[in-house]
């Protein structure tokens, strides 16, 4: 469904890089596309510092966390760091391969400028997905004993994430119709739903207990339906809040970081082993997600030298849904997803066919000024531009990521204010 071309393999020898036409002899020699730009290391160093300082402060200093948990979290962080470097190295390599198979897109928000004619390698989320899975699989060796009850759910979670990555890649290659796309995550969630043996109860909010007459409600099968719907929502909502350089990965990084902080706070504040274990479980999957996504971000941040594809948006959405389900904090997760919920609500008329839905619902780019203007398509990106006026793609993406961070902070404040009164 992308703007890319899946041309015949004969076309692989042609190159459309405008810069090459200025050196004719080079043009004759070049039979493949030029290598992608190097990673934007400055962005990554700043982000790593920004994330690691508060995170390790909470882990080592602020809370008295059990040594065993600390050890597992640190081993996981170490393997994730290795995953970060592998992803960083693999992306340029994989870019060459995807370009060779004509899997690329044109940067729509640069149309009319030389950058808009460059073939940008598409679906690099496949590298992140594979490295993530290898990291998560290897980590089991260090952490779980052979009889650990967590092992079944951990592997079911990995199967769902793997299935989702595969279906995302299928979508990138085959251009699946939009309505089928919506349903793919419910298929990918099956391994987890079938293996799930955890509780299916929800705690009724205290103010509602007198009306419902129960403190705890067992939802049974409906709980599994809810889990499936959460997976469908998380994956698609990331996929449709997209189309700006860095937005897909950027929002994932912000949410993943918020999930990590939330988990550390919960482990630190609780004495219940099983509760702590559920949150540690979620850390073991989110740390590799964050590390590998940071590596992808260094290539995808403005100006993007690679696109992430639906492979990444589905993979990231499914991973976050899985950790929310198994960590039992899906309500908190949905508040972290507030901008995505808003984007979904704005999209409802187009998604459900009440209003015409074009293939791309992106803003209008003016090549003369380099600024984006909001269109009438129902997305948060357009709504933001219509409200705050024209701006450049880079600054728009940055501001939307700040909005995402504000939503996460709002969630922490809300949890603090409602603690004890709500649940």
Q: Note the residues at the interface with ligand UD1 (CB under 6 A).
A: 1-4, 105-109, 122, 239-240, 242-245, 304, 307, 310, 347, 360-362
In whole angstroms, how close is the CB of 308 to Mg ion at the nearest point?
8
In whole angstroms, how close is the CB of 11 to ligand UD1 at the nearest point?
17
Cα 368 off chain centre by: 33
Q: How far apart are CA 4 and CA 103, in angstroms?
A: 7
Main-chain dihedrals φ then ψ at residue 268, nearest 5 degrees? -65, -35
Which lies closer to ligand UD1 via its Cβ, residue 123 or residue 276?
A: 123
In whole angstroms, how close is the CB of 296 to ligand UD1 at the nearest point?
12
Residue 337 binding partner per list ligand UD1, Mg ion, none, with a CB distance cut-off of 5 to 8 Å that depends on partner kind: none
Residue 307 binding partner per list Mg ion, ligand UD1, none, with a CB distance cut-off of 5 to 8 Å that depends on partner kind: ligand UD1
E strand or H helix that includes residue 172: helix 150-174
Residue 4 binding partner per list Mg ion, ligand UD1, none, with a CB distance cut-off of 5 to 8 Å that depends on partner kind: ligand UD1
Q: SS3 for 14?
A: coil
E strand or H helix that includes residue 185: helix 178-188
Which lies closer to ligand UD1 via its Cβ, residue 110 or residue 415?
A: 110
Residues that bind Mg ion (CB under 5 A): 239, 310
In whole angstroms, how close is the CB of 330 to ligand UD1 at the nearest point?
23
Q: SS3 for 407?
A: helix
Which lies closer to ligand UD1 via its Cβ, residue 121 or residue 288?
A: 121
Which lies closer to ligand UD1 via its Cβ, residue 130 or residue 362?
A: 362
Which lies closer to ligand UD1 via its Cβ, residue 105 or residue 288?
A: 105
Query: Which tokens is 59 given?
Result: 């882990």
Main-chain dihedrals φ then ψ at residue 362, nearest 5 degrees? -100, 165
Cα 414 off chain centre by: 24
Residue whose CB is nearest to ligand UD1 in the complex, by number: 105
Q: ω into residue 303 within 30 of 0, thus cis?
A: yes
In whole angstroms, how close is the CB of 46 to ligand UD1 at the nearest point?
21
Which lies closer to Mg ion via its Cβ, residue 316 or residue 385?
A: 316
Query: Which tokens is 216 given?
Result: 């705890």
Residue 328 binding partner per list Mg ion, ligand UD1, none, with a CB distance cut-off of 5 to 8 Å that depends on partner kind: none
Residue 105 binding partner per list Mg ion, ligand UD1, none, with a CB distance cut-off of 5 to 8 Å that depends on partner kind: ligand UD1
In whole angstroms, how close is the CB of 218 to ligand UD1 at the nearest point?
36
Q: How far apart are CA 20 and CA 88, in angstroms?
A: 26
Which lies closer to ligand UD1 via its Cβ, residue 263 or residue 304?
A: 304
Task: Count the Cβ atoms, other than its own, within 10 Å of residue 408.
Answer: 21
Residues near 255 by Cβ (< 8 Å), separated by ≥ 6? 320, 336, 337, 404, 408
Which lies closer to ligand UD1 via its Cβ, residue 320 or residue 326?
A: 320
Main-chain dihedrals φ then ψ at residue 24, nearest 5 degrees? -60, -40
In whole angstroms, how close is the CB of 231 to ligand UD1 at the nearest point?
17
Task: Count the Cβ atoms, other than its own, within 10 Å of residue 185.
Answer: 27
User: What per-residue string of b and e applies to 339-368 under the rule 16 or more CB within 10 Å gives b?
Assistant: bbbbbbebbeebbeeeeeeeeebbbebeee
Residue 72 binding partner per list Mg ion, ligand UD1, none, with a CB distance cut-off of 5 to 8 Å that depends on partner kind: none
Which lies closer to Mg ion via its Cβ, residue 310 or residue 377?
A: 310
Beta strands at 104-105 and 120-121: parallel, antiparallel or unpaired: antiparallel
Residue 153 binding partner per list ligand UD1, Mg ion, none, with a CB distance cut-off of 5 to 8 Å that depends on partner kind: none
In whole angstroms, how close is the CB of 272 to ligand UD1 at the nearest point?
40
Radius of gyration of the chain (CA): 22
Q: How far apart are CA 19 and CA 23, in angstroms?
A: 8
Residue 36 binding partner per list Mg ion, ligand UD1, none, with a CB distance cut-off of 5 to 8 Å that depends on partner kind: none
Residue 157 binding partner per list Mg ion, ligand UD1, none, with a CB distance cut-off of 5 to 8 Å that depends on partner kind: none
Q: How far apart are CA 3 and CA 368, in angstroms?
A: 22
E strand or H helix that includes residue 206: helix 206-212
In whole angstroms, how close is the CB of 180 to ligand UD1 at the nearest point?
11
């Amino acid at each position: 469904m992308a703007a890319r071309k899946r041309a015949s393999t004969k076309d692989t020898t042609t190159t459309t890089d405008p810069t090459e036409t200025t050196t004719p002899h080079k043009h004759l020699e070049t039979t493949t596309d030029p290598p992608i730009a190097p990673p934007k290391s400055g962005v990554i160093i700043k982000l790593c510092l920004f994330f690691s300082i508060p995170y390790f402060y909470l882990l080592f200093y602020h809370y008295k966390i059990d040594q065993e948990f600390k050890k597992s979290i640190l081993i996981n962080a170490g393997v994730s760091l290795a995953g970060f470097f592998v992803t960083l190295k693999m992306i340029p390599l994989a870019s060459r391969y995807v370009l060779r198979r004509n899997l690329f897109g044109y940067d729509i928000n640069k149309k009319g400028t030389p950058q808009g004619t460059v073939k940008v390698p598409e679906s690099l989320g496949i590298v992140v997905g594979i490295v993530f899975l290898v990291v998560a699989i290897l980590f089991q060796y260090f952490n779980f004993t052979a009889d650990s009850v967590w092992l079944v759910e951990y592997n079911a979670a990995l199967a769902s994430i793997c299935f989702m990555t595969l279906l995302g890649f299928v979508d990138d290659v085959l251009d699946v119709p939009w309505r089928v796309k919506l349903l793919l995550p419910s298929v990918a969630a099956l391994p987890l739903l079938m293996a799930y043996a955890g509780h299916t109860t929800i705690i009724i909010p205290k103010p509602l207990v007198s009306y419902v007459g129960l403190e705890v409600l067992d939802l049974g099968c409906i709980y599994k339906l809810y889990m499936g719907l959460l997976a469908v929502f998380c994956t698609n909502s990331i996929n449709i809040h997209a189309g700006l350089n860095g937005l897909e990965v950027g929002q994932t990084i912000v949410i993943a970081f918020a999930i990590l902080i939330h988990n550390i706070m919960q482990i630190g504040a609780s004495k219940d082993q099983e509760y702590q274990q559920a949150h540690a479980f979620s850390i073991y999957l989110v740390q590799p997600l964050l590390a590998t996504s940071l590596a992808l971000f260094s290539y995808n941040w403005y100006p993007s030298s690679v696109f992430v594809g639906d492979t990444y948006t589905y993979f990231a959405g499914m991973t976050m849904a899985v950790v929310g389900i198994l960590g039992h904090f899906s309500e908190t997760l949905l508040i972290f997803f507030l901008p995505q919920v808003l984007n979904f609500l704005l999209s409802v008329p187009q998604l459900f066919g009440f209003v015409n839905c074009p293939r791309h619902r992106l803003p209008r780019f003016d090549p003369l000024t380099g600024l984006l203007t909001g269109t009438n398509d129902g997305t948060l990106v357009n709504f933001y531009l219509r409200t705050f006026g024209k701006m450049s793609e880079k600054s728009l993406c940055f501001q939307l990521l700040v909005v995402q961070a504000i939503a996460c902070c709002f969630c922490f404040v809300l949890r603090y204010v409602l603690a004890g009164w709500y649940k």
